[in-house]
Amino acid sequence: MTYDPAFVPISSTPAPVSERRPTGVVIAALTLGLASLGLLVMAGFLAVAVVVVGKSPQMLAAAQSGTPQGAMPPSIAAIQLIYVAMSIVSLGLAVWGGVTVVGLFRLKPWARISIMVQGGLVAASAGFFALICLIAPLMMSSMKLPSNVSSSQMHIVFAVMGLIAGLVALVGVWWIVYFALRGAREVFSPSSRPGQSFGSRSAIATPALPPRQVGPITDFSVAQPLPPTAPPPPENIDPEI
């Protein structure tokens, strides 16, 4: 059996994904994980608040004292219902973010779309809140504040809150822009293989195997292909016959 050195098998075994995961994907997954953890903590606090409001008459008295004259004060059940709804929404967003983080680390195509959608929601909500923080000081000039609250302190509070909300909105915009780039699309493409960052993949050639040595056939030998043998030379023919 002859050995053809030109025939080299190509291995389709992919390289480990974690070795080629882009740094931007890791940073985005970590920021989303922190946001999901914060939402999970907020959902827990809201769930505790539901119980506290139901067992604290002082809460109802405070709500009634802050109600404008002639308006109906809020009931305990209404406050609890609001807290329950906010807790469920926060828990759902936290679970959504956690699942997306797992998909990002595993480079799933749907995870790229998911974080872009979440980035749009974050950018819109945080940007709207930052806009409110900018407008609120202008509206406070025509409002009567309590004697123990100064307008300069409120301006500082709204400025800090607006700055934080603006930074959060920029994070959401970064998620959208980064995962919309061509390189990120190639990384999360189903047809791509683990290789260089941003989806540059190459096949891995395995070393050529040495030719198998064929020994003599015995009663205990396994069936093996025999090497080709040359035909025997023709016998000398006597011309007198």
pLDDT mean over 65-75: 56
Dihedral of alpha carbons 118, 123, 124, 129, sign: positive
**pLDDT digit string, tens, across residues 155-212:** 888 899 999 999 999 999 999 999 999 999 999 988 764 444 444 444 444 455 555 5
Write the pLDDT tens digit of every residue in 10-52. 444 554 444 478 999 999 999 999 999 999 999 999 999 888 8
Q: What percent of the chain has pLDDT over 70?
A: 61
CB 172, CB 126: distance < 8 Å: yes
Dist CA 123 CA 175 (whole Å): 9
Q: Which amino acid is at 45?
A: F
The answer to whether residue 221 scores a pLDDT higher than 80 is no
d(Cα 100, Cα 114) in Å, to the nearest integer?
Answer: 7
Residue with tokens 């989806």: 199
DSSP string, 123-168: HHHHHHHHHHHHHHHHHHTTS---TT--HHHHHHHHHHHHHHHHHH
Q: CA-CA distance, 181 to 141, in Å (whole number)?
A: 45
Spatial distance between the Cα atoms of 33 and 103, rounded to a whole number of angstroms: 12
Domain-wise residue ranges, the chain: 23-61+76-106, 107-141+150-191
* pLDDT more than 90, % of the chain: 44
